[in-house]
Amino acid sequence: MNVAPASTPAPAYRIEVRNDGNAPVVTTVRQELPPGTSATTVTGGGRATPPVGRTGPAEITWRLTLPARSTTTVHTALTAVPDRLLTAPACAFASNGEQPYDCATATWRQVADPVAKDESTPLWQRPGSALVAGAVLLPALAGTGWWMLRRRRGRAGQTAGGRTVPDATGGPAAQGTLYPRPAVPPPAYRRRRPPVWLVVGVAVAALVGTVGAAAWTATTRVAAIDTDAKPTSGAWTGQGHAGPLGTPLREAAFEFTVYRMACAGSTDHRRCQATVGVRNLTSRQQVWHGELQRAYLPDGKWVNADEPATRAANQGRDVFAEPVAADQRMLVPLVFTVQGAQPPSQVELRSGVFSAGVRVDVP
């Protein structure tokens, strides 16, 4: 399965579903819509449906029959939200809509106007500023070097060869050069100073270059700070990160991606199933534990993963009993059993008890 953003002014995505088997496959494909958006175009017979057990945006659902060794492509277009990155994950499920075959995600980015971007960019961050500073600084440095070279050559000419002995009237001797030459004190040498305009130009150019470089470095460092990245409570190692559905988030050992959250059941006993991708990014196998995976309710309370229900959702497989091999990726349903009418608002996932973990907003 593959999801790719389209190069269009409005948010759009291309979803490819591939059947590599030798028999036809019936699958249900669901694409989660980012908060604040709605579908404007859906191809392939898909339709927008209300979210299951949630109050967030709708999801787009397709019921597809894939022939053997075939690929089916569908497209979606969404309403535009200015100045936002829109991540829309999609998953292909078994015919019952519970067991995921595969999931993928893509983020659509609004194409920026280069002229407008240049006007909004501070002066010291624009590429032309460096050229202007260089155009001012280089001539000043070249002028300084030329002046120093000329000065050295003038001093060398004054000390080389013999000197003419002046006569009583102050003019040169009429009889030529006397030998041996009498000791004549050298003329007083007056140190030449560089022109004022050269000194001021060099100082101004150096000041502009220093201030511009410092401002650019500081601004770049500030811009590189992820204001959404924050450690989760109680973390001992690493840095926690938070993000929306479909965003890969890394903590100490794993990269977690939550593709979907759906809840079913009564208000007294609600089962919420999260479709989670887990990738081990280390060079050795890693274990993770069900009691470290949590779902947070809007009131701040949380519940651990329901391990018996998670085992049943994975067709009897205990996903926490087996270590995750190096560079291995798993796609597993995690089940959380919650009480009350409100579904979870966040999911927290950790690879170990001392890891920072990640938090995913589930609208």
In this prediction, residue 198 carries a pLDDT of: 67
- Please tell me whether residue 73 adopts helix, strand or coil conformation: strand
Cis geometry, peptide bond prior to residue 180 (ω within 30 degrees of 0): yes
Please give the full DSSP string across 115-175, using - where no structure is assigned: HHHHHHS-GGGSHHHHHHHHHHHHHHHHHHHHHHHHHHHHHHHHHSS--PPB-TTSSB-TT
Q: Maximum distance among all alpha carbons in the chain?
A: 127
- Cα–Cα dist 180/337, whole Å: 114
In this prediction, residue 199 carries a pLDDT of: 65
* pLDDT lower than 50: segments of the chain: 114-120, 160-170, 172-174, 178, 221-235
**H helix or E strand, kind and range, residue 293:** none
In this prediction, residue 231 carries a pLDDT of: 45
- φ, ψ of residue 314 in degrees (nearest 5): -100, 25
Please give the full DSSP string across 242-266, using - where no structure is assigned: EE-TT--EE-SSEEEEEEEEEEEE-
Q: What is the pLDDT of residues 103-116, one digit of tens each?
A: 999 999 976 554 44
Please list the residues that pair with 277 across neighbouring strands: 257, 331
- φ, ψ of residue 25 in degrees (nearest 5): -130, 135
The answer, as to whether pTM is greater than 0.95, is no
In this prediction, residue 309 carries a pLDDT of: 95
- Cα–Cα dist 245/262, whole Å: 12
- Please tell me whether residue 360 adopts helix, strand or coil conformation: strand
In this prediction, residue 306 carries a pLDDT of: 96
In this prediction, residue 101 carries a pLDDT of: 94
In this prediction, residue 117 carries a pLDDT of: 44
Burial of 297 from C-beta contacts in 10 A (0-12 / 13-18 / 19+): middle
